[in-house]
Amino acid sequence: MQTRTLGKSGLEVSALGFGCMGLSFGYGPAMDKQGAIALIRQAAEAGVTFFDTAEAYGPFTNEELVGEALAPFRDQVVIATKFGFKNGNSSAGMDSRPERIREVADAALKRLRTDRIDLFYQHRVDATVPMEDVAGAVKGLIADGKVKHFGLSEAGVQSIRRAHAVQPVAALQSEYSLWWREPEAEVLPACAELGIGFVPFSPLGKGFLTGKIDEHTTFAKDDFRNIVPRFSQEARKSNQTLVDLLGRIANAKHGTPAQIALAWLLAKKPWIVPIPGTTKLHRLKENIGGAAITLSTDDLHQIEAALDEIRVQGDRYPAHLAARAGR
């Protein structure tokens, strides 16, 4: 697989990463541990070098899984994890106090079975802690050799600039896909200006852009998508128009809708690195195939002209979670 560098950071990763959250959190029952370890290792053997986890995924179990799976590959891969929630619980509110950041780093190093965190993200901006203090804490961890690079997740432009002034931000991780393009307005231009890489999560629209979900699909009771307005039955029915468009383009390119969705992101900027997740080997192989599809400038114009005619229905988050993003 080709590699990319995240902005001006010098951090080189595979063109597609692997989002590990869904192996143990967020999308229904956790995957069998040995099966999940095998899948992560198959990704590494296939050329994926960028793996994303967080203390909040579980909590803690996903980091432990990733650490065990990648131990044989540690010096060939980049591991990203995150801090920022009280006691690692994403439903308990924010906690990015400097002392907490240091605690999280030390605990994550043990769970990940490593001596350094390659990329340490603030999971969500904490309005109660000045961004300068957050960036300063990570700067200290970098000086100590425990962390290599600083990242932010779902941060707004003002927060990005404040953080970057204290400690250069290597990457911003936020949702971005063919059905959520808000980062194009302000965030991507700021990343371009400051030399910050961009890591889209949910690049396949939480699975919807694969074409395998329709209005009749049901989700496990603990699947996050049950509370997402964009995944209401009515919204899924309406949004099928976008998947139909992807299907037509995929047929012309001898690919799949998921591969076109990933190729579109890769074609946008050379410093964009999507992190699709999956629990299935055949989907992993399909996603990796998306990195081999080249979309021309004309292809992009045609796709985006068609997108302009489609109105995606439903918010991407329920209100209480939407309030955490873009601060």
Residues identified as active-site: 57
- What residue type is assigned to position 200 of the chain? P
Structure tokens at 82: 């995150």
What is the spatial distance between Cα 24 and Cα 201, in angstroms, rounded to a whole number? 16
67 to each of 40, 70, 114, 317, how far by Cα in Å?
10, 5, 8, 30
Helix H or strand E encompassing 212: none
CA neighbor of 259 nearest in space, from 224, 291, 290, 216: 290
Buried b (16+ CB within 10 A) or exposed e, 60-96: bbbbbbbbbbbeebeeebbbbbbbbbbebebeeebbb
